[in-house]
């Protein structure tokens, strides 16, 4: 059994039980963003969380153990994603990449926004011209060291 | 002369004049995010904006005309970016791509977040453990049509 | 079970039952274009449609549930398609890509043709020199926002 | 001098003279779709057309000669286009590729839609919910020969 | 069952029965070139041909049905083939590609040689310095339409 | 100066002088197929041929010397060609690659068709349903050695 | 069953029986280089050799038949090999490729070293500074034909 | 000036002066294989050698200095070479890669053949059936360390 | 059974038995770095080590035999790794590659750092600002030979 | 002028003046590792450092300004490096990537080694069996946040 098999079991069980990620997140006791990432094989659960998830989805013991092992991350089958929703985010990196770079360097100097010490909040933004998806990403700024 | 040549002129002049993107944005009369994107060759200026930019950076007439032509977008030299700052955003798409997909579909159904009817706000988030980069992206949700 | 398995079941059953996509579309109550896309794993069915499709092809319950989950889209095994019929469309993008871009920008300004708020109509165009394939695509124009 | 240099001259002159492709097409005496393709280096002009174009844009004799030579076709810098407008068409091939294949084969049998004996018509489709881009493509059906 | 499975069955049965493609072609009633292409999953058989092939190789009914469905074409596992025999043909395209282009355009004008309305004849050419492979390809010339 | 520069000079001069490859081939004293390959930078000329070509196109001495140096072969800018005419040949390799392999092995055993001890003949095949391009390729069969 | 399955059977049996390639070569009656290539799926055995190999490794009849069919050649999973031993050979091609080209052309004129009419001898070269791997490759020179 | 420019100067001068690599090697005082590699930008010359080469080809002082700087190695424009002569060596790696691996491991255990402590000898092998290219490569065996 | 299957068995058993690599290394009698590499399929064990590992993880005899066979090395599924931890090392090569090159050449002359005669030591470096990962790599310098 | 042009000027001047990176580092007042990275276009200098560097190499004012602008990082021309010295580091990532991952996760839990808060020390390690290259890398461990 591999972590991808655990992910597949969770997804199948979630569909069968008609659960929502936000409900699952409450069980796990973390945000819906982190919980979804963890259950889709991108984050590591601690023992308590893994046991809860195991119960919720009826997972075998081996799967519960695998949820506590650091996974090989990366959730996409190709370097340039084909799914239109995910592609739009890739397009934002392609079109706005150098813009992110310029504005962060102007504000902070040479360094990066951490993708590890990072949190994300995704919510609906009501709008009369059609509701909007609003995503706020917050990552620690890490300056390059001189030595 | 091509649009990339105009971008290069602007960047060289900006360094020589020690201008900031936020100052330039005030001249243009748009947000610093949109202005930076436009002057780095990703957006189209109207005539009034192009003339202002031309004066600010001392651009020749041909360059001012080119700023008003829709550019071929895409600001990165490779499909997977090598620059560490920009790569972190690509990594977010790679790691969180399916998570974005799940959560947006859970909230909105089948469709995408527009990367066109889109705005972005990048700011510093003070934090005692080290300041953070905060980026809020807002895109209209576009549902797939059945027909 | 994955969505691809459902697609494979549908295709096998369609061959065995000698059904046509246009007949299936009548059962589903949508156009043949949308119905084919949905049953080949590119669109999401609602519960009523999924149940009808399940009956028509004798699908198990799990498959009927999967038809109602938003799929990971993209129907081709390689970035540049090898099948001659599909390649011709890729060739049109390669040869006419910048032409589409110029003419849409001339007519509408900077923005894109939506591939989401989109419909398509494919029909036979009788012609004494050999019948023709006629495809009409209609997508909402989405202008880039300034902010 | 290469054909790309001629394309660049034409584009620069078009911007300077504020000409539209539809006006240029009238001078050439062909549709705006074909004319744009030809002047962006994808089609071959005959002598009469090349001379007219040369006059319109003030091209040197060598450029006028090159317009009459069959070009190496393909208008995009990368196999997967980065420009959002052009990418949407690539996305249509990726998502709808097998759908085009199924429906054309159902209607016509094994064969392809010609991308050579082909014409295209791009126009604005007024719509109260936002105007739409309408593209009609018509290509001769070419059946595979048995021998 | 997929078309590739049918191909694999045919190849295994052909080896076991020590049949030659030229013998099989006689049963099918087409040239050995077309027959080999069809049985290796690149062409579509009609019902009569499929039934004959099914008997010859002892195929199940589902396989006989699949032989009558238009396949997803493309017979190679990689974009640049690794097999030395097949690579030599790729090399011919790489080295002689622009030469084919120049000579066909010189003789016919702008257009292509059809790969659909196409036939091929492969035979041994006896030669005292070592026998030669002779391949004659004949494809209809398709001129680009102006419109 | 590089061989590509010589190719470019020859092509420019050929257009200016309105020469045909078949006429040039007569001057060189070889077939039009080989001559075109040689002058497009794929073959090596001997001194006598290079001098004739130099006179015909008015090339400088350095160019005449370069024509006698073995070139780095390969005439296409990308691994999968974008030009529709050349792509059709790549498609033939993709679709018929394993077919070539089967039929040559059936006739000759394990080995390849040489792409070096090779000649080609390209001609017009008149046909009431539209003239055809006929290409005959003849390559020595080279069997694998056992040792 | 496919040729790769036969290769896998042979490799597993070879490990279990602790056989060496040089011993196997004696059974087959060819050099160890050719024998290893053949049993790893790169060459074709005749009936006598295949029967011997079948007995030695206890292969089923279908496997013995497959050893006599010309395989699809190419033994590496990626275009640029990741295994350090094999990569060193790729590196030699990368670093010395143009050097091979220059020296072979200087000695022989335009043409290639055959990779088909080819033999190889790999042996240990004792050396006080550490033993060396010595590989001698001998391939027939094939000159380009003029025609 | 870059090392590639020095390579180009040397190649142009070599053609003009009708020098052979074997003659140049005598001047440099190394083998023709190493000398060709060095002058095509793959190896580093010492001061004495660089000065000799500078005189022989009439190079400016800056070029002579650059010949003594370690170059960025790799002599081919693409990962899979297009030139037929060089491709044959790549094909040998592709077809014989795992064979090299098996035989070297059988003889020496786990480790590699060095591509650094390496020498090569290329010569003509007269043969009544056509002369052969003979290449002997000798590299030190480097065993993997356990620690 | 293949080496990857052995790796998978070991990893599953290690999770079930809650063993640490450092503990396993003690059993094997080598460093934790080498032991981890060997058990993840990158190095070859001798008989004694393989037997110990077989007992520790309860492996079948065939797996114990496979641990003693030189594996096809390379532990990553893609050329550019997607896992953030592993990517950071790839990024170091991308950003510091030419820096490694300059400094090693300045210190040692032309040559390389061996990746075969190589050892590595990974340890925690306590630091009040957050503990650090410290990796020391030591590889023999191998100078290029002149010959 | 672009940053790459500044890098090229510095490298040319360094060769002409026979300077060593360690000497230059003393002038700049940082380690030789950081200094080399900065002057090869991977790091940003402050004003004082840039002025010193400008004097040392005789750079124009525009170049001195560019040294203070954050560069687009990534020092290699291809995703898989061709230079043997640099490739060895890529090979280490390929072979040891999952080993780094296992050992860092065992010691620290889920997270990464920073490539930003990072320092490196490269030195000669004398060894009677041949001197060794010793590289010590130290990066802050960054744990994934749960939220």
pLDDT band at residue A43, thresholds of 50, 70 and 90? very high
CB of J71 within 8 A of CB of J38?
Answer: no
Question: Is CATH 1.10.260.40 what the domain over E3-66 is classified as, yes or no?
Answer: yes
CB of A90 within 8 A of CB of A80?
Answer: yes
Q: Is F2 on the interface with H (CB under 8 A)?
A: yes
In this prediction, what percent of chain I has a pLDDT beyond 90?
Answer: 97
- A74: chain I residues, CB-CB within 8 Å: 82-83
Q: What is the pLDDT of residues D44-70, one digit of tens each?
A: 999 999 999 999 999 999 999 999 999
Query: Given a cut of 90, is residue B86 above it in pLDDT?
Result: yes
| Cα atoms in the Cβ-side hemisphere of radius 13 Å centred on J45 | 29
pLDDT attached to residue E114: 96
Is B88 among the catalytic positions? Answer: yes
Question: Helices D21-28 and D32-39: crossing angle, nearest 10°?
Answer: 90
Instruction: Give how far Cα A14 sits from Cα of A8, A17, C66, Å.
Output: 10, 5, 11
8 Å CB contact of D98 and C40: yes
8 Å CB contact of F87 and C84: no
Chain F and chain E touch, per 3+ beta carbon pairs within 8 A: yes
The one catalytic residue in H62, H91, H94, H134 is H91
Taking Cα atoms as reference points, which of B99, B120, B119, B110 lies closest to residue B141?
A: B110
Catalytic residue ranges of A: 88, 91, 114
CB of B135 within 8 A of CB of A112?
Answer: no
Is C88 among the catalytic positions? Answer: yes
Query: Given a cut of 90, is residue J72 above it in pLDDT?
Result: yes
Helix boundaries (H) for chain E = 3-17, 21-28, 32-39, 47-57, 61-66, 84-108
Sorted by where each begins, the domain ranges of chain A are: 3-66, 84-143
Q: How many other CB atoms sit within 10 Å of the CB of residue F47?
A: 11
- The Cα–Cα gap between C16 and G48 comes to 45
Q: What is the mean pLDDT of residues I117-137?
A: 96
- The Cα–Cα gap between G101 and C128 comes to 56
Which pair of structure tokens corresponds to residue D63? 């450029």
Burial of A71 (0-12, 13-18, 19+ CB in 10 A): buried
8 Å CB contact of D116 and E143: yes
From J129's Cα to the closest Cα of chain A, the distance in A is: 32
From E129's Cα to the closest Cα of chain D, the distance in A is: 32
CB of E100 within 8 A of CB of F90?
Answer: no
Q: What is the pLDDT of residues I68-105, one digit of tens each?
A: 999 999 989 999 999 999 999 999 999 999 999 999 99
pLDDT band at residue I32, thresholds of 50, 70 and 90? very high
Chains that touch H (3 or more CB pairs under 8 A): E, F, G, I, J
8 Å CB contact of F109 and G33: no
8 Å CB contact of H15 and F116: no
Query: Given a cut of 90, is residue E115 above it in pLDDT?
Result: yes
- The Cα–Cα gap between D147 and C106 comes to 48
Instruction: Give how far Cα H136 sits from Cα of E4, G7, I89, Å.
Output: 43, 29, 37
- Determine the residue among D87, D129, D130 to mutate to test chain A binding: the one whose Cβ has the most chain A Cβ atoms within 10 Å: D87
Query: Chain B: residue nearest J61 by CA?
Result: B16
From C44's Cα to the closest Cα of chain A, the distance in A is: 13
What architecture (CATH level 2) is domain I84-143?
Answer: 2-Layer Sandwich (3.30)
H9: left (phi over 0), alpha (psi -120 to 50) or beta: alpha
DSSP code of residue G77: S
Q: Is B15 on the interface with J (CB under 8 A)?
A: yes
Chain A and chain D touch, per 3+ beta carbon pairs within 8 A: yes
Q: What is the mean pLDDT of residues E14-19?
A: 94
pLDDT attached to residue D1: 87
What rounded mean pLDDT belongs to chain B? 96
The SS3 call for residue C109 is coil
Query: Chain H: residue nearest G75 by CA?
Result: H95
8 Å CB contact of C80 and D84: no
- The Cα–Cα gap between C25 and C35 comes to 5
pLDDT attached to residue C1: 87
The SS3 call for residue H127 is coil
What rounded mean pLDDT belongs to chain C? 96
- B114: chain C residues, CB-CB within 8 Å: 142
Query: Given a cut of 90, is residue I1 above it in pLDDT?
Result: no
**Of chain G residues 25-44, which have a CB less than 8 A from chain H?**
32-33, 36-37, 40, 42
Q: What is the mean pLDDT of residues A3-26?
A: 96
pLDDT band at residue J1, thresholds of 50, 70 and 90? confident
Q: What is the mean pLDDT of residues J118-141?
A: 96
The one catalytic residue in C4, C48, C62, C88 is C88
- I22: chain J residues, CB-CB within 8 Å: 106
**Of chain D residues 119-138, which have a CB less than 8 A from chain A?**
none
> Do the domains G3-66 and G84-143 sit in the same CATH topology, yes or no?
no
CB of C71 within 8 A of CB of C41?
Answer: yes
CB of F101 within 8 A of CB of E85?
Answer: yes
Residue found by looking up tokens 């890509």 in the block: C97
pLDDT band at residue C23, thresholds of 50, 70 and 90? very high
What rounded mean pLDDT belongs to chain A? 96
**DSSP string for H65-110:** HHTTSPP-----SSSS--SHHHHHHHHHHHHHHHHHHHHHHHHH-S
pLDDT attached to residue E1: 87
Is I3 among the catalytic positions? Answer: no
ipTM of the prediction greater than 0.90, yes or no: yes
8 Å CB contact of C16 and E79: no
Of A111, A116, A147, the CB nearest to J142: A116
Query: Chain A: residue nearest C69 by CA?
Result: A15
**Of chain A residues 41-80, which have a CB less than 8 A from chain C?**
77-78, 80
Of H12, H77, H80, the CB nearest to F1: H12
- A116: chain I residues, CB-CB within 8 Å: 84
- H78: chain F residues, CB-CB within 8 Å: 79
Q: What is the pLDDT of residues E78-114, one digit of tens each?
A: 999 999 999 999 999 999 999 999 999 999 999 999 9
pLDDT attached to residue B1: 87
From D125's Cα to the closest Cα of chain F, the distance in A is: 31
Q: What is the mean pLDDT of residues A34-49?
A: 97
Q: What is the pLDDT of residues H80-132, one digit of tens each?
A: 999 999 999 999 999 999 999 999 999 999 999 999 999 999 999 999 999 99
**Of chain C residues 86-115, which have a CB less than 8 A from chain F?**
87, 91, 94-95
Query: Given a cut of 90, is residue H15 above it in pLDDT?
Result: yes
Chains that touch F (3 or more CB pairs under 8 A): C, D, E, G, H
Taking Cα atoms as reference points, which of C60, C67, C66, B109 lies closest to residue A16?
A: C66
Query: Given a cut of 90, is residue H1 above it in pLDDT?
Result: no
pLDDT attached to residue D142: 97
pLDDT attached to residue I128: 96
Query: Given a cut of 90, is residue G1 above it in pLDDT?
Result: no
- The Cα–Cα gap between C33 and D139 comes to 18
Query: Given a cut of 90, is residue G34 above it in pLDDT?
Result: yes
Catalytic residue ranges of F: 88, 91, 114
Residue found by looking up tokens 């790696």 in the block: H93
Burial of E116 (0-12, 13-18, 19+ CB in 10 A): buried
The residues facing I135 across adjacent strands are I122, J137
Give pairs for C30-36: CB < 8 Å, separation 24+: C30/B146, C30/B147, C31/B147, C31/C119, C31/C121, C32/C122, C32/D103, C33/B147, C33/C119, C33/C120, C33/C121, C33/C122, C33/D99, C33/D103, C34/B146, C34/B147, C34/C119, C36/D99, C36/D102, C36/D103
Which pair of structure tokens corresponds to residue F65? 């010397």
Which of E118-127 are b and which e, b meaning 16 or more Cβ less than 10 Å from the residue's Cβ? Answer: bbbebeeeee
Query: Chain A: residue nearest J103 by CA?
Result: A70
From C98's Cα to the closest Cα of chain D, the distance in A is: 6
8 Å CB contact of C82 and E65: no
Query: Chain C: residue nearest F87 by CA?
Result: C91
- E82: chain H residues, CB-CB within 8 Å: 91, 94-95
Q: What is the pLDDT of residues A76-114, one digit of tens each?
A: 999 999 999 999 999 999 999 999 999 999 999 999 999
């Amino acid at each position: 059994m591999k972590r991808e098999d655990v992910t597949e079991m969770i997804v199948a069980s979630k569909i069968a039980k008609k659960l929502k990620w936000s409900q699952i997140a409450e069980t796990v006791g973390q945000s819906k963003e982190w919980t979804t990432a963890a259950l889709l094989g991108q984050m590591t659960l601690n023992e308590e969380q893994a046991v809860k998830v195991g119960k919720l989805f009826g997972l075998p013991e081996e799967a519960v153990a695998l949820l506590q092992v650091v996974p090989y991350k990366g959730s996409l089958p190709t370097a340039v994603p084909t799914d239109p929703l995910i592609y739009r985010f890739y397009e934002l990196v392609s079109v706005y990449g150098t813009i992110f770079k310029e504005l962060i360097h102007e504000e902070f100097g040479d360094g990066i926004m951490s993708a590890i010490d990072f949190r994300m909040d995704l919510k609906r933004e009501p709008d009369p011209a059609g509701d909007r998806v609003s995503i706020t990403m917050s990552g620690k700024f890490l300056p390059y060291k001189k030595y």
